[in-house]
A and B are shown apart, each in its own frame.
Chain A
Amino acid sequence: MTPSPAENAQPDLPLLRTESLSVSFVNRGTRTAVVSDVSFDVAAGECLAIVGESGSGKSVTAKAILGLLRGTNADVSGRILFAGRDLLRLSGRALDRVRGAEIGAVFQEPMTSLNPSFTVGNQVAESARRHLGMGRREAWDRAVEMLDRVGIANARQRAKAYPHEFSGGMRQRVMLAAALVTEPRLLVADEPTTALDVTIQARVLNLTRQLCDEMGSAALFITHDLGVVADIADRVHVMYAGEMVESATVYDLFESPRHPYTAGLLSCSPGLDAERGHLPVIRGSVPQPGEWPDGCRFHPRCPHAVEVVCTEGPVAIEATATGSVRCRRHAELRLDGVQSEVPVWAVRTPAGGH
């Protein structure tokens, strides 16, 4: 479905824009910030990946966008503009209409996301009935069609099965079918392939891209896996300790990272060549919320950190020629991207060869 510009109150706005999105959790009077001042855009038809390690705030960002932090101890501030409407200001009922009809969601654990007491066809059809106003029979046919599109063989029969009768990869494709059955304008996927085997991950990634292309939907892909990012994203935001530290197109980010954390993550990727016993690492570990250092939050682990410049005061995110970066030394640093040589394992030789 192509969104008509008339639907947007402000036509110059992207499909999704977050402005200074901040989230903190309040526990017995103590406030812990987990996401600080995150601003980004997702254009219609684009796939944006948010990359980060545990504790970076990437999943909380996704939850805030989906309104899943409502009624919890989270304090969410800033603006989340979807097609011109601020999702944070919508009533619960209005948000329900947007979520499902216009925003689909897929999460990491396909077993806990599906209801074990309804057939998979039912759960896909429910989306169509609620959000597209279809009748029972029409919604069921639509669900079967969607299950077929996500590659469930013999979909008309299998739609009558229960989630426990499906493997993890099939369940995740059922989730994808339920999220996409309404042809949403935005798909939010939080680590959708992390619990899957690689052969199944490849299928789910191919499908997601293919379906988004067909429907013109945008995707917000949350992941920690740079291989997945390289496969699916148009643009990438890197998060560290609750902040965005770098933003660029997928090619610029991998070829010429501007933030030392991005460069560090790239060098640590297990898919790339490295010498045994001397694998590249980033020293130390990710600081948890509440333990973020002053100055640049990455400075205690950064090989390029210098006193005062990096250790004092909050660091602003600055625009560069190709994106933006939160590093006071970015103009003077020359950081390595991924090598252009292909590691030997990724060169396809026939299994039958000698």
Chain B
Amino acid sequence: MASPKRRAETAPAHRPSADAGTDLLVIEGLDVVYGGGGGGGVFGLSPRTGFRAVAGVDLALRRGESVAIVGESGSGKTSLLQALVGLAPVAAGRVRLGDVELTRLRGRDVRRARRDMQFVFQDPYSSLDPSMRIGQLLDEPLRVHLRSWSRAQREERVREVIESVGLATSVLGRYPNEFSGGQRQRIAIARALTVEPKVLLLDEPVSALDGSTQGQVLNLLHDIQQRTGVAYLMVAHDLPLVRLFADRIAVMYQGRVVESGPAAALMAAPRHPYTRSLLDASPLPNPTVQRARPRVTLPDETSDAPTPPCCAFAPRCPERFDRCDAEAPAAYPVGPDRLARCFLHAEGTDALEASDAPHA
């Protein structure tokens, strides 16, 4: 690893293009279980099994890439993101960042590795300590991760970063409550960027913002990525929005990735019925078109979980057939770099495809 000082000096330059395309962050078979192991059972769950919020997720993030994890509440998307930085209990699986296997680290090594992966929270109103000045907020991660730096070095870095998110250095002496939501989210992003992470984990970074300012923050993230080569792993619930941000999309349902692939291809022709349902339910801001769209609504999520083995989405799925109740689908390839966890795409079942629906 390069010395902290050298990394800072080379920060504004483009990363070598040879880096592009290699996997930077690799997640394999990740399980997040709440309430498992020791302690009593909560909310009626048996203390031994707990609640499996993330179930065997595989995901890879390349250098300089943006991947979005999309799902509804309870899909496990936020737990997945939190597990990467130790904010949710990992029960199984491996997480590798560069050459370092994070799931095996202990003590000081954990802190060193975390420098490379910084988190931006959803709500910029609660994620910034209201009693700290912006300058102090941005200085804090440097003090934690770059202890050898002098005060002057840190101050220089803080000024550089605040300007890189489009704010003037004069804001450094002010407090968070003096800023609008969009400005606060810029500050939160700046704070995450001070230590030059390789990966930024973004939890719904624009959903607390006004529509007219969401684009400002997404454009800023894009600019920063062009400049520094940082990779983004973003969690969001709004598919039409994330396609304006992500290279690849992973759709989660009840702890599993049910479909993944390049953003454009996935949006143009989703392969999992759940992805299709999400798009059908997203209202299009055009009354003429919106009112002509078919109104397809999913049944309620049943309170009693389907008995495994079966597809978790089967009880709500418009395409459900016998096999869906009998076994759990694997992730089947459905195109270049695309996977769908649905029996419609298991070998030999292509004949079941609906032929009456129009193609794009």
With an 8 A cutoff between CB atoms, is A268 at the interface? yes
Pairs across A and B, CB under 8 Å, 26 listed: A170-B300, A197-B72, A198-B278, A198-B283, A227-B282, A227-B283, A227-B284, A230-B287, A264-B212, A269-B211, A270-B211, A274-B215, A276-B245, A277-B219, A279-B214, A280-B215, A281-B212, A285-B212, A339-B286, A340-B286, A340-B289, A345-B243, A348-B357, A349-B269, A352-B345, A353-B359
Interface residues of A in 294-335 (CB under 8 A from B): 301
Q: A167-B301, A349-B359, A351-B271 are in contact. Are A271 and B281 (CB under 8 A)?
A: no
Interface residues of B in 300-341 (CB under 8 A from A): 300-301, 303, 319, 334-335
Structural contact, B283 and A231, CB atoms closer than 8 A? yes
Structural contact, A271 and B353, CB atoms closer than 8 A? no
- CA distance in complex: A204, B267 (Å): 24
Which A residues lie within 8 Å of B291 (CB)?
Answer: 230-231
Chain B interface size range: 35 or more
Min C-beta distance of B173 to chain A, whole Å: 20
With an 8 A cutoff between CB atoms, is B64 at the interface? no
Interface centre among A279, A280, A339, A351 (most CB of B within 10 A): A351
Which B residues lie within 8 Å of A165 (CB)?
Answer: 303
A-contacting 9-mer, from B79-87, B88-96, B141-149, B234-242: B234-242
Min C-beta distance of B107 to chain A, whole Å: 40
Structural contact, A352 and B344, CB atoms closer than 8 A? yes
Structural contact, B240 and A199, CB atoms closer than 8 A? no
Structural contact, B72 and A199, CB atoms closer than 8 A? yes
Structural contact, B285 and A272, CB atoms closer than 8 A? yes
B319 is contacted by which of A254, A280, A345, A351 (Cβ under 8 Å)? A351
With an 8 A cutoff between CB atoms, is A68 at the interface? no
With an 8 A cutoff between CB atoms, is A203 at the interface? yes
Q: A269-B285, A281-B219, A353-B269 are in contact. Are A345 and B240 (CB under 8 A)?
A: yes
Structural contact, A268 and B211, CB atoms closer than 8 A? yes
Q: Which residue of A lies closest to B238 (CB)?
A: A270
- CA distance in complex: A227, B272 (Å): 23
Which A residues lie within 8 Å of B168 (CB)?
Answer: none
Interface residues of B in 256-287 (CB under 8 A from A): 267-273, 275-287
Structural contact, A199 and B244, CB atoms closer than 8 A? no
Structural contact, B226 and A277, CB atoms closer than 8 A? yes
Structural contact, B278 and A230, CB atoms closer than 8 A? no
Interface residues of B in 161-204 (CB under 8 A from A): 180-183
Which A residues lie within 8 Å of B360 (CB)?
Answer: 344, 347, 349
With an 8 A cutoff between CB atoms, is A101 at the interface? no
- CA distance in complex: A225, B319 (Å): 30
Structural contact, A230 and B286, CB atoms closer than 8 A? yes
Extra contacts besides A268-B211, A347-B358, A347-B360 (20): CB < 8 Å: A53-B210, A53-B212, A151-B300, A199-B281, A199-B297, A226-B285, A227-B290, A230-B284, A251-B287, A278-B219, A279-B219, A281-B212, A288-B180, A340-B286, A340-B289, A346-B284, A348-B294, A349-B276, A350-B354, A351-B319
Interface centre among B73, B180, B212, B288 (most CB of A within 10 A): B212
With an 8 A cutoff between CB atoms, is A32 at the interface? no
Min C-beta distance of A293 to chain B, whole Å: 15
Structural contact, A343 and B218, CB atoms closer than 8 A? no
Structural contact, A169 and B285, CB atoms closer than 8 A? no
- CA distance in complex: A281, B277 (Å): 29
Which B residues lie within 8 Å of A344 (CB)?
Answer: 267-268, 360
With an 8 A cutoff between CB atoms, is B106 at the interface? no
- CA distance in complex: A264, B213 (Å): 11
Min C-beta distance of B46 to chain A, whole Å: 19
